[in-house]
C-alpha cells in the first residue's frame, strides 16, 4: 500500500483520521515541514521501515539506533521501543515524547512530528523486506568474516548501499554494506569485523551459521556511485568499511569509469596481517591500467617496504588512513568525488581534511559512519 499525501502545504497540523487499525496493521500520520503523510504500519514493524517501504524519504543514517538522525516526536498513540539500550535514545527528551523512528513500533494508530523535510517517491524504488539464507561464510583475518546471503527474491541496489540484518539469535538489527554489485541479484555479500560486545558479529564467529535464515531490510543509504559520475574518485575506508567501497569499485569497473578518470583508494587496518580483499583490490588496479592506485595504511606498525610484499599493486603507508589520504592527495583534489566509510573518528578526520585542505563541497563527499 502506497503512502498517501494528506497535505502539501504548511498548514495546521492534522489529527489522525478515524482509526483504521486492524489486528495486524495500524495507520501512522507523520507531520513534517513539507506536509502530512499517512502510511500503514504492520504489527511489529518500526515506523522507519514502514515509512520507507511506503516511499517516504524519512530521515536516517544508521537506521539501527546509534546516530539519532531519525528523531521524531510522538503526539498521540502508543509505541514500544525495540532496543531500549540504543545509544541515541539517551540523547532524546523522552519525557516530551521524543522517539527514534528506527526503534519505535506502533501499538495503535499514531501521530508523529518529524522536523525534516520529506517527499514521496515511487515504492518501486523503496526499501523492502527480504528473507535470506546465510551461505559461504569464511574467515578473512583474525577478526573479519565474509558471508553471503541467498535471497528468497532478487534485490536491486546501488553500489555503496547497505542493508539491515536481523536474526532471532540477536536483539536488534545490524547495518552492513553490500560488498558485491549486480543489478537485481539473488545473492548479496557482506563482511563483518568482530568487536568486543558485538552481538551479531560474536554470534557469527561463535557457531556455524551457514544455512541460517535471516531477515533483510533494504537497500538503504545515499553514499552511492551511479552511472554518469564524471569525476576522479577518492575512496577512504577503515577496516570493514571497505565493504561498500568494494561495491563501488566493482560498479565503476563495470562502467569503465577508470578509462577516463583516476581513482585513489586508501584502506586502513592495524597491521599488514589485517589486510583483506587484497586479491580483489589488485585485480581492480590491473584492470584500470594505471588509473587506479591502492594504499594500505597500517596504523599499528610502520611498513618495512613501500609496497606490499605479496601484492605489488598495493602501496603501503604508516599511520591512520586519513593521514595517508592527506599526504598522498595534497594538491590533487580538483574534480574529485570522495567516498568515506568507517568509525566516526576516522570519518570525521577525513571530512576535515577534504573540506579544509581539499576545498571539496558537501555535494562532493559521500560517507557512512558506523559504530
Cβ distance 335 to 308 under 8 Å?
no
φ, ψ of residue 14 in degrees (nearest 5): -90, 145
- CATH classification code of 232-369: 3.40.50.80
Query: Is-cis flag, bond preceding 219, omega within 30?
Result: yes
User: Which positions ≥6 away from 149 have C-beta within 8 Å?
Assistant: 132, 133, 134, 135, 165, 187, 188, 189, 190, 214, 216
Residue 4 confidence class, pLDDT cut points 50, 70, 90: very low
Let me know: does 146 contact 137? Beta carbons within 8 Å: yes
Residue span(s) of the chain under CATH 3.10.20.30 come to 4-123
Nine cell digits for residue 347 = 570519518
Predicted pLDDT at 23? 64
pLDDT single digits (tens) 256-277: 999 999 999 999 999 999 999 9
- For the segment 120-144, the average pLDDT, to the nearest whole number, is 96
| Local confidence band at 22 (pLDDT 50, 70, 90 cut-offs) | low
- Predicted pLDDT at 168: 85
- In the chain, which residues fall in CATH 2.40.30.10? 128-220
- pLDDT over 60 at 13, yes or no: no
Average pLDDT over all residues of the chain: 93
- Segment 137-156 shows an average pLDDT of 98
**pLDDT band, very low/low/confident/very high, at 242 (cuts 50, 70, 90):** very high
The pLDDT of residue 11 is above 50: no
- The pLDDT tens digits of the residues spanning 101-118 come to 999 999 999 999 999 999
* Residue whose grid cell is 495503535: 108
Write the pLDDT tens digit of every residue in 297-346. 999 999 999 999 999 999 999 999 999 999 999 999 999 999 999 999 99
What residues are paired with 167 via a beta bridge?
170
Q: Which segments of the chain belong to CATH 3.40.50.80?
A: 232-369
User: What strands lie across the sheet with 336-342, from one edge to the other?
Assistant: 314-318, 292-298, 263-269, 232-238, 336-342, 365-369
CA 249 – CA 242 distance, rounded (Å): 10
Cell of residue 194, nine digits: 568482530
Domain 128-220, CATH among 1.10.3720.10, 3.40.30.10, 3.30.1330.40, 2.40.30.10: 2.40.30.10
pLDDT exceeds cutoff 90 at 2:
no
Report the alpha-carbon angle 328-333-336, nearest 5: 115
Percent of the chain with pLDDT over 70: 94
Interatomic CA distance for residues 339 and 330, integer angstroms: 17
In this prediction, residue 48 carries a pLDDT of: 98
CA dihedral (233, 70, 28, 9) positive or negative: negative
The CATH number of 4-123, from 3.40.50.450, 3.40.50.720, 3.10.20.30, 3.40.50.2300, is 3.10.20.30
| Cell 527480504, residue located | 130
User: What pLDDT score does 371 carry?
Assistant: 60
Predicted confidence at residue 246, as pLDDT, reads 99
Model confidence at 24, in pLDDT bands (50, 70, 90)? confident
Amino acid at each position: 500500500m502506497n503512502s498517501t499525501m494528506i497535505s502539501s502545504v504548511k498548514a495546521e497540523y492534522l489529527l489522525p483520521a478515524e482509526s483504521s487499525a486492524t489486528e495486524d496493521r495500524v495507520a501512522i500520520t507523520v507531520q513534517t515541514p513539507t506536509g502530512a503523510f499517512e502510511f500503514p504500519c504492520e504489527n511489529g514493524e518500526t515506523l522507519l521501515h514502514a515509512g520507507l517501504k511506503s516511499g517516504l524519504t524519512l530521515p536516517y543514517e544508521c537506521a539501527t539506533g546509534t546516530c539519532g538522525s531519525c528523531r521524531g516526536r510522538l503526539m498521540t498513540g502508543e509505541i514500544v521501543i525495540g532496543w531500549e539500550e540504543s545509544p541515541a535514545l539517551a540523547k532524546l527528551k523522552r519525557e516530551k515524547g521524543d522517539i527514534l523512528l528506527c526503534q519505535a513500533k506502533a501499538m495503535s494508530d499514531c501521530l508523529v512530528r518529524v522536523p525534516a523535510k520529506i517527499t514521496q517517491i515511487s515504492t518501486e524504488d523503496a526499501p523492502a523486506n527480504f528473507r535470506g539464507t546465510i551461505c559461504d561464510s569464511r574467515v578473512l583475518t583474525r577478526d573479519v568474516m565474509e558471508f553471503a546471503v541467498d535471497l528468497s527474491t532478487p534485490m536491486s541496489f546501488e553500489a555503496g548501499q547497505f542493508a539491515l540484518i536481523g536474526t532471532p539469535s540477536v536483539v536488534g538489527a545490524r547495518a552492513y554494506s553490500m560488498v558485491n554489485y549486480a543489478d537485481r541479484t539473488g545473492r548479496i555479500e557482506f563482511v563483518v569485523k568482530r568487536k568486543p560486545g558485538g552481538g551479531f558479529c560474536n554470534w557469527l564467529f561463535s557457531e556455524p551459521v551457514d544455512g541460517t535464515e535471516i531477515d533483510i531490510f533494504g537497500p538503504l543509504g545515499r553514499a552511492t556511485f551511479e552511472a554518469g559520475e564524471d569525476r576522479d574518485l577518492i575512496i577512504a575506508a577503515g577496516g570493514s568499511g571497505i565493504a561498500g567501497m568494494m561495491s563501488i569499485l566493482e560498479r565503476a569497473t563495470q562502467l569503465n569509469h577508470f578509462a577516463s578518470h583516476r581513482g585513489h583508494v586508501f584502506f586502513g587496518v592495524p597491521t599488514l596481517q589485517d589486510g583483506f580483499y587484497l586479491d580483489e583490490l589488485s585485480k581492480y588496479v590491473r584492470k584500470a591500467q594505471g588509473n587506479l592506485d591502492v594504499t594500505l595504511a597500517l596504523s599499528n606498525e610502520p611498513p618495512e617496504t613501500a609496497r606490499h610484499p605479496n601484492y605489488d599493486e598495493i602501496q603501503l603507508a604508516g599511520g591512520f588512513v586519513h593521514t595517508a589520504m592527506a599526504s598522498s592527495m595534497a594538491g590533487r583534489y580538483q574534480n574529485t568525488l570522495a567516498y568515506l566509510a568507517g568509525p566516526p573518528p576516522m570519518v570525521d578526520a577525513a571530512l576535515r581534511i577534504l573540506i579544509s585542505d581539499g576545498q571539496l563541497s558537501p555535494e562532493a563527499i559521500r560517507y557512512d559512519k558506523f559504530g
